[in-house]
Amino acid sequence: MIRILVLSLLALSACTNSSTELRLYSKKIGFNSDKATLLVSLENCSYCFGEYQETVEELDKLKFNVVIISSQKKKASLFASPDDNSVFIDNEKIAIKLGLIESLPIIILPSGERLEIFSPEQLLNYAETYVP
């Protein structure tokens, strides 16, 4: 029982940290952290551009922020056009520095919960399940 309590506390504190980091990140990039946020790094995922570009186009941007992490503004803009409303570019790679993303795309829910994405199908599935 104690073990479960400790694990729950740890999970909660991890969530709180992520949530704080997310808020910090959202301020720097300029997005609304009350929406679910999809982070896609084109820095250390060589196939992410081809694999996710079409699927990201399909996402409902009213429900999602999309942040593309890339030092190349042109490449990031080709992946999805930034509009300062729901699509943003993190060309200083702050998300990597904050440890919010490593290589695979991530959905961060407003609660701070992180969902790692392994395929475009899974992205759509998570979008339907967690951001109805």
Chain residues in the site for other proteins (CB under 8 A):
43-44, 46-47, 49-51, 53, 71-75, 78-79, 93, 96-97
CB of 44 to other proteins, least distance (A): 6
When the beta carbons of 46 and 111 are compared against other proteins, the nearer one is 46
Residue type, 36: A
Nearest to 18 by CA among 117, 101, 130, 122: 101
When the beta carbons of 48 and 109 are compared against other proteins, the nearer one is 48
CB of 75 to other proteins, least distance (A): 4
When the beta carbons of 19 and 77 are compared against other proteins, the nearer one is 77
CB of 7 to other proteins, least distance (A): 21
Nearest to 70 by CA among 99, 95, 38: 95
